[in-house]
Amino acid sequence: MKVRTHISRDEGLIFERSSPGKAAYKLPQLDVPDVDAGKLLGASARQDLGAMPEVSELEIIRHFTRLSTWNYAIDLGMYPLGSCTMKYNARVNEVVARLGGLAEAHPYQPEKVSQGALRIMRLLSDYLLDITGMDAITLQPAAGAHGEMTGLLLIRSYQESKGKPRKKILIPDSAHGTNPATAAICGYQIENLKSNSEGMVDVAALAAQMNEDVAGMMLTNPNTLGIFEEEIHKIADLLHAKGGLLYVDGANMNALVGKTRPGDFGADVMHLNLHKTFSTPHGGGGPGSGPVACKKILEPFLPVPVLAAKPDGSLALDYERPQSIGRVKAFYGNFGMFVRALAYIMANGCDGLRQTTEDAVLNANYIRKKLEDVYELPYKSPCMHEVVFSHKLQAAKGIKTGDIAKRLIDYGFHPYTTAFPLIVADHGAMMIEPTESEPREELDLFIAAMRAIAREAAEEPQLIRDAPTTTRIARLDEARAARNLILRWKKD
Ligand SMILES: Cc1ncc(COP(=O)(O)O)c(C=O)c1O
């Protein structure tokens, strides 16, 4: 036998593979005069390059290829991380985004040679407006939370333009953590709204709390329990009656596209996560995109530049907007993401987008039905695109949501989202979002794994407490790993 364990199991650092004199390249003899870098660059010339690994091309290729196999990815298996919509990123998006004229377009190139890029932005904007039922849009924000900040700045400017700046933003206790963080960053006081026993906004509590100090409310719909806010019209009316605005966190639009539109159920402003709903890549800190769409009343405040049509029909970027909140991003946003999202929308078409929503909701409810006898459902309302269980039944044996998630790794799945949303008692949430990408076969494997873990929790709980056991490293002390970061390789 060549090796006992997987060859990449104990991969060393590239520095540890180094041996003096090895190189991954061989250059031909210099046939031009040698130039002294010191003379050319003066003090900026770096003489000491530090310790560099000396390895052959084969070693370097194998090292990084082996490391790449350590990653879990949507291309390897189901990634049911609730609230993150880890759907499959279609390859056609990548092909289109890599077309030379798009990938190499420069943000400083003149408008007249950028008409194609501007048309892509226009077309994507128009589709997103159609999908959301809103009137105007900016594509600039780089992520969902950045979109939230942009949206709240629009609300703030609007309220100021009315001559009565307001102090508070209402946020339900089921909200994503970015919502209160955004409101605080925008200078608002946050007032918490309690959910009712069905996991929805308590409308009577809202009516009691709403007053003329409230600038608006941030609401995710479907909310982070995966439940559609059925009284959304009433909520919007209550806010509007007292001059407040409704911000819809549209990060969960995967459950609504092609079915219902926030613009029709009372939203004044919202963001979309292209890196969730519209299949552009995300995770690992890669560039995201969080366009913000709004109703006409907020349009004057949109960040500059705004896409505009000239009388001759060509497109231009308009900076002359006196009421604008200003810039929120360098240039025009993450353009490559616009291309990918547009490719996704056009490849699916109207029917395809609607089908996608239906499949996402069907998949989540399939899991809900198949697991509800072994995991507790803290909120019983039918779910939309994600389902939230709790660890209540397993906690009786000392097994928590985090333990079950670690055991899932042993069964070959990425864990679900643990301990979120926080309103689930005892921080025991198990939040599962399969997305529409998963075929029935993969869902069944996942369900079988979750059922096996429920059995183990009852019969062999130690197995779960020790998980994961099939990974390169055993369970980490996560708090210590986060507080005591070691980011640099040191020889001794
Ligand atoms: C409901 C909700 N709101 C906001 C966000 C924030 O988006 P981002 O991570 O792109 O900043 C997320 C992220 O997943 C989310 O699920």
Q: What is the pLDDT of residues 109-138, one digit of tens each?
A: 999 999 999 999 999 999 999 999 999 999
| Ligand 1 site, residue 176, Cβ cutoff 6 A | yes
C-alpha to C-alpha distance for 449 and 229, rounded to whole angstroms: 31
Q: At what angle do helices 335-371 and 115-132 cross, to 10 degrees?
A: 30
Helices (H) and strands (E) in the chain, counts: 16, 12
Please choose, from the candidates 260, 183, 233, 180, the residue with its C-alpha nearest in 3D space to the C-alpha of residue 421.
180
Q: What is the DSSP letter of 14?
A: G
C-alpha to C-alpha distance for 366 and 224, rounded to whole angstroms: 18
CA of 455 from ligand 1 middle (Å) equals 33
The alpha carbon of residue 203 and the mean position of all alpha carbons in its chain are separated, in whole angstroms, by 29
Q: Report whether pLDDT(3) > 50.
A: no
* Six token digits for residue 154: 């629009």
Query: Residue 247's beta-bridge partner residues?
Result: 218, 269
Predicted confidence at residue 327, as pLDDT, reads 96
Predicted confidence at residue 273, as pLDDT, reads 97
Predicted confidence at residue 2, as pLDDT, reads 42
- Determine the atom of ligand 1 nearest the C-alpha atom of 83: 16
Average pLDDT over residues 220-224: 95
Give buried/exposed letters for 334-354 (b at 16+ CB in 10 A, else e).
bbbbbbbbbbbbeebeeeebe
CA of 467 from ligand 1 middle (Å) equals 29
**Mean pLDDT taken over the chain:** 93
Predicted confidence at residue 284, as pLDDT, reads 61
Average pLDDT over residues 332-355: 97
Q: For the segment 27-44, what is each residue's pLDDT rounded down to a tens digit?
A: 899 999 988 888 889 989
CA of 4 from ligand 1 middle (Å) equals 42
pLDDT tier at 290, thresholds 50, 70, 90: very high
- Determine the atom of ligand 1 nearest the C-alpha atom of 275: 10
C-alpha to C-alpha distance for 324 and 129, rounded to whole angstroms: 20
Q: Closest Cα to atom 8, ligand 1: which residue?
A: 144
| Ligand 1 site, residue 249, Cβ cutoff 6 A | yes
Lowest mean pLDDT among 43-52, 227-236, 411-420, 422-431: 43-52
Contact 132/293 with Cβ under 8 angstroms?
A: yes
Q: Closest Cα to atom 5, ligand 1: which residue?
A: 144
| Ligand 1 site, residue 239, Cβ cutoff 6 A | no
Contact 342/334 with Cβ under 8 angstroms?
A: no
CA of 275 from ligand 1 middle (Å) equals 10
Predicted confidence at residue 492, as pLDDT, reads 59
Q: Closest Cα to atom 6, ligand 1: which residue?
A: 144
Burial of residue 216 (CB within 10 Å: 0-12, 13-18, 19+) is: buried
- Determine the atom of ligand 1 nearest the C-alpha atom of 252: 1
343 vs 50, residue with greater confidence: 343
Q: Strand pairing of 306-309 and 214-220?
A: unpaired
| Ligand 1 site, residue 273, Cβ cutoff 6 A | yes
Please choose, from the candidates 145, 223, 216, 213, the residue with its C-alpha nearest in 3D space to the C-alpha of residue 185.
145
Contact 255/262 with Cβ under 8 angstroms?
A: no
Average pLDDT over residues 139-167: 96
Predicted confidence at residue 47, as pLDDT, reads 80
- Determine the atom of ligand 1 nearest the C-alpha atom of 282: 10
Contact 134/270 with Cβ under 8 angstroms?
A: yes
Query: Residue 430's beta-bridge partner residues?
Result: 389, 418
Q: Return phi, psi of residue 189, to 5°.
A: -85, 145
Q: Return phi, psi of residue 261, to 5°.
A: -125, 130
Of 176, 223, 433, best ligand 1 pocket probe by most atoms within 8 Å of the beta carbon? 176
Share of the chain above pLDDT 70, in %: 97
| Ligand 1 site, residue 450, Cβ cutoff 6 A | no
H/E stretch holding 84: none
CA of 272 from ligand 1 middle (Å) equals 9
CA of 176 from ligand 1 middle (Å) equals 7
> Which residues contact residue 345 at a Cβ distance below 8 angstroms, ignoring those fewer than 6 apart?
124, 127, 278, 353
pLDDT tier at 299, thresholds 50, 70, 90: very high
Lowest mean pLDDT among 44-53, 100-109, 111-120: 44-53
Q: Report whether pLDDT(238) > 60.
A: yes
Q: pTM for the full model?
A: 0.91
Q: For the segment 184-194, what is each residue's pLDDT rounded down to a tens digit?
A: 999 999 999 99
